[in-house]
Amino acid sequence: MMAVTTSVARLLGALLATGLLLQTATAETLSRDDRAAISTMIGEQIDAFRQNDAALAYGYAAPQIKRLFQTPERFMEMVRQQYEPVYRPRSVTFGESIETPDGVLQRVFLTGPDGRSWIAAYLAERQSDGSWRIGGCALTVDESPKI
């Protein structure tokens, strides 16, 4: 449980430090290819959740997430229980990405299975081989005015 708390605290600290939930900003130095790779990775993981493909979804997780959950099935069960809007979204729209010392925060706007609007802030971490993996996700209710 300590690892979960540390990962979540780190992600939330990065969110607060960048003002991700309060202001719009974009990363100036993140390449177009990196932006595309990050959004593709997140989209493919969401598709894997939709298809109940635990192994594929788990494959996009960063090493510390894999150490924490140890098996694709445990990872998938956690997502089912705690991240229903990510597990079964009605819609997915990608927002801005922001570079932080811990990685890239990618904002994703979701409509959950119950019709509620959510913001998922994903932490994408570059691996030693240059690939990207998901190091965490923080969900908040999207309370912005609807037009």
pLDDT in tens, 69-94: 999 999 999 999 999 999 999 999 99
- The length of the chain is 147
DSSP-derived pairing of the beta strands 91-100 and 117-126: unpaired
pLDDT tens-place string over residues 130-146: 999 999 999 999 987 77
> What pTM was computed for the model?
0.78
**How does DSSP assign 113-135, residue by residue?**
TTS-EEEEEEEEEE-TTS-EEEE
Tell me which amino acid residue 77 is: E
Within 10 A of 86 (CB to CB), how many other CB atoms are there? 23
State residue 135 phi and psi, 5-degree precision: -100, -5
Instruction: Provide the residue ranges of all domains of the chain, joining segments of one domain with +.
Output: 2-141
27-31, 72-76, 97-101: lowest mean pLDDT where?
A: 27-31
How many angstroms separate the CA atoms of 13 and 52, rounded? 31
1 CB-contact burial (10 Å; exposed 0-12 / middle 13-18 / buried 19+): exposed
Tell me which amino acid residue 16 is: L
CATH number of 2-141: 3.10.450.50
Mean pLDDT of 17-21: 45
User: What does the longest C-alpha to C-alpha distance in the chain come to?
Assistant: 43
